[in-house]
């Protein structure tokens, strides 16, 4: 009996020593980069957000802002490798996919070689969160706050920030494109905004995000376009930079006139001509209303 009791005691001790502190090991405070990264590894994005935001009265800065931004990015569904992988997968079957460049290949892309850039951008648009999605927008804000100067930012961080800015621009451009084709974006259907302010807001923000994206791309080499398109060429940002600069110089209505008169091919004219006219009229109305507002003020 005594032997049995001793054996039980020994086994109990072994069991207790093995199991008891486990809950202590799992207790997380998110106070260190170590813990936050462990939670990111486990894709517990909401937990990182909760832990970091509860420790700060105001938005954090530096490394903490970067960790928080990563958590918001994960929560909005953007994991860079997974996102890049999604671009190759078959297009989703929805109204936006049917209206946006319907001639583009719809199936799985084994290689991005030879696929027109607009088709890659279409896939980016279909997978990206909406630019004003609260989690995605907060991630964008925190990333800018964590690393405000591209020249002083590590290359990969510039790549990540550039990716987020690029997704924002593509998302807005896709929305405006569909809007110009007569498809009403969700934001307008729920009546939260009227058409002109919505367009104005999208245009302004897209221009700002394009500038940020270009700035980041200058300090990230070809990695942003590489991640999204598999192409090492920096062609995206060279073209975007030139386009933004030109549009800002001549004004958007004149820019759209220029596109219609000199860039569109005869086939494109049939497809996109009417859409560009509608967009041009809307932008002109917006500029007039802005002038009117300025006069009133």
Partner 1 sequence: MLRLLLLLLIAFFAVLPAPARATDFDLSLAYGQSRDFWRLVGDIQDRTGNAAEIDALARNRYGRPDVIYSYLDAAYAYPHSHFNWEPFGMLVIGTRAEALAGGEISNPISPEIQAYANATGIASIGYRSLNAPGRKTFWEARLLGGVGPEKRLYAQGAEFLDTIPVRNGALFLGGAFLQMMNHAQPGEDFYVTTDLFVRTVYFHSTTDAPLSKPDEDLSFFTVRWKLQNEWLKEVDTFLSSRTRLGIISVLGQNPTPFLNLPVTWDYQQHLKTYPGFRSTSGIGGIARFLNDRALPNVALYGGFFGGAFGGGADLQLGPVVLNASTYGLENFLSPSREKTRIWNATLGIAL
Interface residue list for partner 1 (CB under 8 A): 3, 6-7, 9-10, 13-14, 16-22, 25, 33-35, 37-38, 40-43, 70-71, 73-74, 78-82, 84-85, 87-89, 155-157, 159-160, 223-224, 226-227, 230
Nearest residue to 148 via CA among 62, 53, 244: 62
- b/e sequence 176-200, b meaning 16+ C-beta within 10 Å: bbbbbeeeebebbeeeeeeeeebbb
Give me the least distance between CB of 223 and partner 1, in Å please.
4
Rg (CA), the chain: 25
Looking at beta carbons only, is 37 or 245 nearer to partner 1? 37
Give me the least distance between CB of 29 and partner 1, in Å please.
13
Give me the least distance between CB of 5 and partner 1, in Å please.
10
Contact 227, 160 (CB under 8 A): no
What CA–CA distance (Å, rounded) separates 11 from 16? Answer: 9
**CA of 109: how far to CAs of 15, 95, 118, in Å?**
54, 21, 14
Looking at beta carbons only, is 18 or 189 nearer to partner 1? 18
Looking at beta carbons only, is 79 or 287 nearer to partner 1? 79
Looking at beta carbons only, is 18 or 57 nearer to partner 1? 18
Nearest residue to 199 via CA among 98, 289, 294: 289
Give me the least distance between CB of 136 and partner 1, in Å please.
13
Contact 142, 72 (CB under 8 A): yes
Count Cα atoms within 13 angstroms, Cβ side, for 159: 16
Looking at beta carbons only, is 27 or 192 nearer to partner 1? 27
Give me the least distance between CB of 18 and partner 1, in Å please.
5
Give me the least distance between CB of 68 and partner 1, in Å please.
11
Give me the least distance between CB of 286 and partner 1, in Å please.
36
Looking at beta carbons only, is 40 or 213 nearer to partner 1? 40
**CA of 196: how far to CAs of 21, 146, 236, 259, 281, in Å?**
60, 33, 28, 21, 11
Nearest residue to 188 via CA among 91, 180, 273: 180
Q: For the residues of 229-259, what is the DSSP string, one character each?
A: HS----HHHHHHHHHHHHHHHH-HHHHHHHI
Looking at beta carbons only, is 21 or 273 nearer to partner 1? 21
- The contacts of residue 208 (CB under 8 Å, 6+ apart) are none
Give me the least distance between CB of 146 and partner 1, in Å please.
12
Looking at beta carbons only, is 24 or 149 nearer to partner 1? 24
């Amino acid at each position: 009996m005594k032997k049995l009791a001793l054996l039980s005691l020994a086994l109990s001790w072994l069991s207790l020593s093995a199991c008891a502190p486990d809950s202590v090991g799992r207790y997380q405070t998110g106070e260190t980069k170590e813990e936050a990264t462990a939670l990111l590894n486990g894709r517990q994005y909401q937990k990182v957000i909760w832990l970091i935001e509860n420790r700060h009265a105001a938005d954090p800065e530096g490394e903490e802002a970067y960790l928080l931004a990563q958590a918001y990015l994960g929560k909005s569904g953007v994991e860079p490798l997974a996102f890049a992988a999604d671009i190759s997968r078959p297009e989703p079957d929805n109204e936006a996919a049917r209206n946006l460049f319907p001639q583009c290949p719809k199936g799985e892309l084994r290689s991005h070689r030879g696929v027109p850039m607009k088709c890659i951008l279409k896939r980016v648009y279909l997978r990206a969160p909406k630019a004003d999605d609260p989690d995605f927008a907060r991630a964008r804000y925190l990333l800018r706050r964590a690393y405000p100067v591209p020249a002083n930012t590590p290359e990969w961080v510039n790549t990540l920030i550039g990716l987020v800015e690029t997704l924002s621009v593509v998302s807005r451009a896709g929305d405006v494109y569909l809007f110009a084709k007569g498809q009403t974006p969700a934001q307008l259907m729920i009546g939260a905004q009227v058409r002109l302010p919505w367009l104005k807001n999208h245009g302004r923000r897209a221009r700002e995000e394009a500038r940020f994206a270009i700035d980041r791309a200058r300090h990230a080499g070809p990695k942003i376009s590489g991640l999204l398109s598999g192409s090492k060429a920096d062609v995206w940002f060279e073209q975007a930079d030139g386009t933004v600069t030109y549009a800002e110089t001549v004004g958007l209505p004149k820019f759209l006139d220029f596109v219609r008169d000199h860039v569109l091919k005869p086939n494109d004219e049939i497809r996109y001509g009417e859409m560009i006219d509608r967009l041009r009229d809307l932008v002109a109305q917006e500029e007039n209303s802005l002038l009117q507002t300025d006069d009133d003020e």
